Amino acid sequence: MGKFSDFKRYTKDQFYEADQERLAVKFRELAGKGCFVLLSNSFNEKTAKLYSGFLQRTVQMPRFVNCRGEGRGKVDELLISNYGL
């Protein structure tokens, strides 16, 4: 993996594991208030565990941006929801 191939550099502040945890807390908070919530995130076991108890579905999503042509293609994306998917 290259220096910038971690896909957490969407902002100058990046997006770290602690940010993922805060997002999960907010997701649970909103669900607890009765909001319908749906989240899309890159699939990995840590993320799936953060949202245990919610509906989850892994889908294949196309990625067209990659510094190497052979790196483009479909990747696993995790959909997380508190209502039927």
pLDDT of residue 29: 98
pLDDT of residue 67: 66
Q: Three-class SS of residue 17?
A: helix
pLDDT of residue 14: 77
pLDDT of residue 9: 53
Q: Three-class SS of residue 84?
A: coil
pLDDT tens digit at each of 85 positions of the chain: 344 445 555 566 777 889 899 999 999 999 999 999 999 998 889 999 999 999 999 999 877 666 666 667 788 899 999 998 7
pLDDT of residue 17: 86
Residue 50, strand partner residues: none
CA-based torsion, 20, 21, 24, 29: positive or negative: negative
Can you give the residue ranges of every domain in the chain? 17-81
